[in-house]
Protein backbone atom coordinates (compact mmCIF):
# COMPACT_ATOMS: atom_id res chain seq x y z
CA UNK A 1 0.00 0.00 0.00
CA UNK A 2 1.08 3.54 -0.64
CA UNK A 3 2.49 5.46 2.29
CA UNK A 4 4.22 8.74 3.00
CA UNK A 5 6.80 9.28 5.73
CA UNK A 6 7.85 12.61 7.11
CA UNK A 7 10.58 11.69 9.58
CA UNK A 8 10.71 15.04 11.36
CA UNK A 9 7.74 15.85 13.56
CA UNK A 10 9.02 19.29 14.58
CA UNK A 11 11.82 21.47 13.21
CA UNK A 12 13.01 24.82 14.49
CA UNK A 13 15.11 27.11 12.31
CA UNK A 14 16.30 30.67 12.69
CA UNK A 15 14.84 33.34 10.48
CA UNK A 16 17.01 33.72 7.41
CA UNK A 17 18.40 30.19 7.65
CA UNK A 18 17.84 27.56 5.00
CA UNK A 19 15.24 24.85 5.38
CA UNK A 20 14.84 21.29 4.20
CA UNK A 21 11.84 19.16 5.10
CA UNK A 22 12.10 15.49 4.31
CA UNK A 23 9.53 13.29 2.65
CA UNK A 24 9.78 9.65 1.59
CA UNK A 25 7.07 7.72 -0.15
CA UNK A 26 6.34 4.09 -0.77
CA UNK A 27 4.61 3.35 -4.04
CA UNK A 28 4.91 0.87 -6.87
CA UNK A 29 5.35 3.49 -9.55
CA UNK A 30 6.12 7.18 -9.71
CA UNK A 31 3.24 8.87 -7.98
CA UNK A 32 2.03 12.40 -8.19
CA UNK A 33 3.72 14.29 -5.35
CA UNK A 34 2.56 17.32 -3.46
CA UNK A 35 3.54 19.62 -0.63
CA UNK A 36 0.83 21.45 1.30
CA UNK A 37 1.10 24.00 4.08
CA UNK A 38 -1.37 24.46 6.91
CA UNK A 39 -1.25 27.64 8.98
CA UNK A 40 -2.87 27.58 12.41
CA UNK A 41 -6.65 27.49 12.13
CA UNK A 42 -6.51 27.34 8.34
CA UNK A 43 -7.12 24.79 5.65
CA UNK A 44 -4.35 23.36 3.51
CA UNK A 45 -2.75 25.33 0.71
CA UNK A 46 -0.82 23.74 -2.14
CA UNK A 47 2.83 24.83 -2.26
CA UNK A 48 3.96 22.79 -5.25
CA UNK A 49 3.45 19.54 -7.12
CA UNK A 50 5.39 17.09 -9.25
CA UNK A 51 3.89 15.00 -11.99
CA UNK A 52 6.70 14.39 -14.45
CA UNK A 53 9.59 16.09 -16.22
CA UNK A 54 12.10 18.31 -14.45
CA UNK A 55 12.75 16.81 -11.03
CA UNK A 56 13.27 20.20 -9.43
CA UNK A 57 9.97 22.00 -9.09
CA UNK A 58 9.33 25.55 -8.00
CA UNK A 59 6.36 26.52 -5.90
CA UNK A 60 4.80 29.49 -4.24
CA UNK A 61 6.35 31.53 -1.42
CA UNK A 62 9.90 30.74 -2.58
CA UNK A 63 9.69 26.99 -1.95
CA UNK A 64 11.14 24.30 -4.17
CA UNK A 65 11.24 20.52 -4.02
CA UNK A 66 13.36 17.88 -5.67
CA UNK A 67 12.10 14.47 -6.70
CA UNK A 68 14.71 11.71 -6.37
CA UNK A 69 13.41 8.45 -7.74
CA UNK A 70 16.36 6.40 -6.45
CA UNK A 71 15.68 7.55 -2.91
CA UNK A 72 11.85 7.68 -3.19
CA UNK A 73 12.10 11.16 -1.79
CA UNK A 74 10.53 14.53 -2.44
CA UNK A 75 12.19 16.97 -0.05
CA UNK A 76 11.01 20.54 0.33
CA UNK A 77 13.53 23.36 0.52
CA UNK A 78 13.68 27.08 1.01
CA UNK A 79 16.94 29.06 0.96
CA UNK A 80 15.91 31.67 3.52
CA UNK A 81 13.07 31.18 5.97
CA UNK A 82 10.78 34.00 7.01
CA UNK A 83 8.87 34.17 10.30
CA UNK A 84 5.62 33.86 8.33
CA UNK A 85 6.70 30.38 7.18
CA UNK A 86 5.94 28.98 10.63
CA UNK A 87 3.25 26.40 9.95
CA UNK A 88 2.73 22.69 9.48
CA UNK A 89 3.86 21.14 6.22
CA UNK A 90 2.39 18.02 4.68
CA UNK A 91 3.78 15.86 1.93
CA UNK A 92 1.22 13.86 -0.06
CA UNK A 93 1.05 11.36 -2.90
CA UNK A 94 -1.72 10.86 -5.40
CA UNK A 95 -2.62 7.77 -7.38
CA UNK A 96 -0.91 7.82 -10.76
CA UNK A 97 -3.04 7.36 -13.82
CA UNK A 98 -6.31 6.76 -12.05
CA UNK A 99 -9.52 8.70 -12.03
CA UNK A 100 -9.56 8.69 -8.26
CA UNK A 101 -8.11 11.82 -6.83
CA UNK A 102 -7.62 10.99 -3.21
CA UNK A 103 -4.33 11.96 -1.60
CA UNK A 104 -2.31 10.07 0.98
CA UNK A 105 -0.70 12.43 3.45
CA UNK A 106 2.30 12.16 5.70
CA UNK A 107 1.90 12.98 9.38
CA UNK A 108 3.26 16.46 8.85
CA UNK A 109 6.26 18.48 10.02
CA UNK A 110 5.67 21.46 12.25
CA UNK A 111 8.04 24.32 11.50
CA UNK A 112 8.89 26.89 14.14
CA UNK A 113 10.96 29.97 13.22
CA UNK A 114 13.23 31.65 15.75
CA UNK A 115 13.72 35.41 15.41
CA UNK B 1 -9.57 32.07 0.60
CA UNK B 2 -9.74 28.86 -1.42
CA UNK B 3 -13.34 29.33 -2.50
CA UNK B 4 -14.43 26.17 -0.69
CA UNK B 5 -16.85 26.83 2.16
CA UNK B 6 -17.64 24.56 5.06
CA UNK B 7 -20.31 24.90 7.69
CA UNK B 8 -20.43 24.91 10.58
CA UNK B 9 -17.00 26.01 11.67
CA UNK B 10 -17.30 24.37 15.07
CA UNK B 11 -19.61 21.67 16.32
CA UNK B 12 -19.88 20.36 19.85
CA UNK B 13 -22.09 17.39 20.51
CA UNK B 14 -22.49 14.36 22.73
CA UNK B 15 -21.69 10.71 22.21
CA UNK B 16 -24.37 8.80 20.37
CA UNK B 17 -25.59 11.83 18.46
CA UNK B 18 -25.70 12.46 14.72
CA UNK B 19 -24.33 15.50 12.90
CA UNK B 20 -24.16 16.77 9.34
CA UNK B 21 -21.24 18.69 7.92
CA UNK B 22 -21.75 20.71 4.78
CA UNK B 23 -19.37 21.66 2.00
CA UNK B 24 -19.78 23.94 -0.98
CA UNK B 25 -17.07 23.44 -3.60
CA UNK B 26 -15.45 26.15 -5.67
CA UNK B 27 -17.56 27.35 -8.54
CA UNK B 28 -17.07 24.97 -11.46
CA UNK B 29 -15.47 22.15 -9.47
CA UNK B 30 -17.14 18.79 -9.97
CA UNK B 31 -15.19 16.68 -7.50
CA UNK B 32 -15.47 16.84 -3.71
CA UNK B 33 -13.28 15.07 -1.18
CA UNK B 34 -13.64 14.61 2.56
CA UNK B 35 -10.66 14.23 4.87
CA UNK B 36 -10.40 13.73 8.61
CA UNK B 37 -7.52 15.23 10.58
CA UNK B 38 -6.89 13.93 14.09
CA UNK B 39 -3.87 13.99 16.37
CA UNK B 40 -3.35 10.24 16.35
CA UNK B 41 -4.28 9.36 12.75
CA UNK B 42 -3.11 12.50 10.98
CA UNK B 43 -4.84 13.56 7.77
CA UNK B 44 -6.84 10.69 6.30
CA UNK B 45 -8.93 10.49 3.16
CA UNK B 46 -12.52 9.49 3.75
CA UNK B 47 -14.46 9.65 0.49
CA UNK B 48 -14.58 11.31 -2.93
CA UNK B 49 -17.53 12.26 -5.09
CA UNK B 50 -17.48 13.32 -8.70
CA UNK B 51 -20.51 14.95 -10.26
CA UNK B 52 -22.85 13.28 -7.80
CA UNK B 53 -21.35 9.81 -7.89
CA UNK B 54 -19.06 8.16 -5.38
CA UNK B 55 -15.62 7.80 -6.95
CA UNK B 56 -13.29 6.61 -4.19
CA UNK B 57 -13.57 5.42 -0.64
CA UNK B 58 -10.91 5.52 2.04
CA UNK B 59 -10.95 4.78 5.73
CA UNK B 60 -14.52 5.83 6.24
CA UNK B 61 -16.43 4.16 9.06
CA UNK B 62 -19.79 2.54 8.40
CA UNK B 63 -21.32 5.06 10.81
CA UNK B 64 -20.29 7.80 8.38
CA UNK B 65 -21.93 8.51 5.06
CA UNK B 66 -21.75 11.24 2.47
CA UNK B 67 -23.46 12.42 -0.65
CA UNK B 68 -23.09 15.03 -3.34
CA UNK B 69 -26.21 16.82 -4.46
CA UNK B 70 -27.19 18.02 -7.96
CA UNK B 71 -25.97 21.52 -7.13
CA UNK B 72 -22.62 19.85 -6.30
CA UNK B 73 -22.55 20.69 -2.62
CA UNK B 74 -21.77 17.76 -0.37
CA UNK B 75 -22.74 16.63 3.07
CA UNK B 76 -20.92 14.29 5.43
CA UNK B 77 -23.16 12.57 7.96
CA UNK B 78 -21.64 11.20 11.13
CA UNK B 79 -23.85 9.08 13.37
CA UNK B 80 -23.58 7.22 16.68
CA UNK B 81 -20.74 9.55 17.50
CA UNK B 82 -17.91 8.40 19.72
CA UNK B 83 -15.26 10.37 21.56
CA UNK B 84 -12.71 9.24 18.99
CA UNK B 85 -14.62 10.97 16.20
CA UNK B 86 -13.49 14.33 17.55
CA UNK B 87 -11.38 15.78 14.76
CA UNK B 88 -11.07 18.45 12.12
CA UNK B 89 -12.99 17.51 8.99
CA UNK B 90 -11.85 19.05 5.74
CA UNK B 91 -13.61 19.24 2.46
CA UNK B 92 -11.64 19.81 -0.73
CA UNK B 93 -12.72 20.27 -4.32
CA UNK B 94 -11.15 20.00 -7.75
CA UNK B 95 -12.28 20.64 -11.28
CA UNK B 96 -12.21 17.01 -12.31
CA UNK B 97 -11.46 13.64 -10.71
CA UNK B 98 -7.94 12.28 -10.75
CA UNK B 99 -4.86 13.24 -8.78
CA UNK B 100 -3.61 15.53 -11.57
CA UNK B 101 -6.23 18.03 -10.53
CA UNK B 102 -5.27 20.42 -7.76
CA UNK B 103 -7.41 20.10 -4.67
CA UNK B 104 -8.51 23.26 -2.91
CA UNK B 105 -9.24 22.83 0.77
CA UNK B 106 -11.88 24.49 2.86
CA UNK B 107 -11.17 25.85 6.35
CA UNK B 108 -12.55 22.74 8.03
CA UNK B 109 -15.20 21.89 10.59
CA UNK B 110 -13.92 21.17 14.07
CA UNK B 111 -16.04 18.47 15.67
CA UNK B 112 -15.86 17.91 19.41
CA UNK B 113 -17.69 14.93 20.86
CA UNK B 114 -18.18 15.08 24.63
User: What would the pLDDT profile of B39-48 be if each residue is shown by its tens digit?
Assistant: 888 999 999 9
Rounded to whole angstroms, the Cα distance separating B57 from B44 reads 11
Rounded to whole angstroms, the Cα distance separating A68 from A75 reads 9
Chain A residues touching chain B at CB-CB below 8 Å: 31-32, 36, 41-46, 49, 51, 90, 94-96, 98-108
Rounded (10°) CA dihedral B98, B101, A64, A25? -10
* pLDDT tens string B13-61: 999 999 999 999 999 999 999 999 998 889 999 999 999 999 989 889 9
With a cut of 80, say whether residue A96 has pLDDT above it: no
Rounded to whole angstroms, the Cα distance separating A22 from A53 reads 21
Q: Where are the beta strands (DSSP E) in B25-68?
A: 31-38, 42-50, 53-57, 64-68
pLDDT on residue A98: 63
Contact assignment for B33 to A42 by CB distance below 8 Å: no
Rounded to whole angstroms, the Cα distance separating A44 from A46 reads 7
With a cut of 70, say whether residue A97 has pLDDT above it: no
* pLDDT tens string B69-85: 999 999 999 999 999 99
Instruction: Of A6-10, A98-102, B83-87, give the lowest mean pLDDT range.
Output: A98-102
pLDDT on residue A99: 63
Rounded to whole angstroms, the Cα distance separating B89 from B9 reads 10
Q: What is the DSSP letter of B95?
A: S
Burial of B87 (0-12, 13-18, 19+ CB in 10 A): buried
With a cut of 60, say whether residue A107 has pLDDT above it: yes
Distance from CA of A95 to the nearest CA of B (A): 6
Give me the mean pLDDT over the A79-88 stretch.
Answer: 96
Identify the residue with better confidence: A72 or A28.
A72
With a cut of 80, say whether residue A100 has pLDDT above it: no
Give me the mean pLDDT over the A48-76 stretch.
Answer: 94
Query: Could you tell me whether strands B5-7 and B19-24 are parallel, antiparallel, or unpaired per DSSP bridges?
Result: antiparallel
3-state secondary structure of B83: helix
| A7 contact residues in B (CB cutoff 8 A) | none
| B100 contact residues in A (CB cutoff 8 A) | 32, 51, 94
pLDDT on residue B100: 78
Considering only CB atoms, A103 lies closest to which of B45, B50, B55, namely B45
Give me the mean pLDDT over the A99-110 stretch.
Answer: 87
Considering only CB atoms, A32 lies closest to which of B45, B100, B104, namely B100
pLDDT on residue A76: 98
The secondary structure element, H or E, covering residue A75 is: strand A73-78
Q: Where are the beta strands (DSSP E) in chain B?
A: 5-7, 10-13, 19-24, 31-38, 42-50, 53-57, 64-68, 74-78, 87-94, 104-105, 109-113
Contact assignment for A105 to B2 by CB distance below 8 Å: no
Amino acid sequence: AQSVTQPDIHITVSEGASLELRCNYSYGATPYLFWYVQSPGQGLQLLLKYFSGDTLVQGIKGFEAEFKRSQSSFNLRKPSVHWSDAAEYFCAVGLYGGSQGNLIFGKGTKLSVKP
Amino acid sequence: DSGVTQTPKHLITATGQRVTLRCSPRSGDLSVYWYQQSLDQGLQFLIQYYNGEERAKGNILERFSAQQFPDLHSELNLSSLELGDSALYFCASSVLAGALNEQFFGPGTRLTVL
